[in-house]
Homo-oligomer: A and B are copies of this chain.
Amino acid sequence: MSDITQAQADAVLSAARDSARETGTAMNIAVVDAGGNLKAFTRMDGAWLGSIDISIKKARTARYFDMATGSIGELSQPGGPLFNIEVSNGGLITFPGGLPLHGEDGSIIGAIGVSGSTVENDHTVASAGAAIQH
């Protein structure tokens, strides 16, 4: 298993933070490793306190299922095949803002989770972090 390095995680945080500044938002940004364990985290000044946990849960959710958190949310609605999956794993967050992170060889080396604004902005900032080439 390839795993994200501290240098890579720092680059992901930095790219996401730059994106947050461009969008004028104050974000919580979390990076987990290939094992789903917290690797790096930063909270911008003024970012919502409740988004600390949500950003971490988004990153973990994205790595737990190797897909964008929003994709799981489409399946977890009432009547859907994964209804209320959110109660598992100590709490999943299934709306946008969490994305897998890929290594040079294309394998998943971790995930990023962003929370602090609209889910559209959260997703934009997470995407900026995930776009870093490793």
Contact = CB atoms under 8 A, between A and B. Distances in A.
Interface of A: 1-3, 5-6, 9-10, 33-45, 48-54, 57, 61, 63-66, 73, 76-79, 81-96, 118-119
A132 to B, nearest CB: 16
Contacts of A1: 1-3, 34
B84 A119 contact: no
Contacts of A91: 87-88
Interface of A is mostly: loop
Contact of A48 (B9, B64, B73, B79): B64
B83 A77 contact: yes
Contacts of A79: 77
Nearest to A73: B83
A6 B28 CA distance: 11
Given A50-B64, A87-B93, 8 more contacts: A33-B43, A48-B65, A50-B63, A53-B89, A54-B88, A76-B83, A78-B78, A83-B86
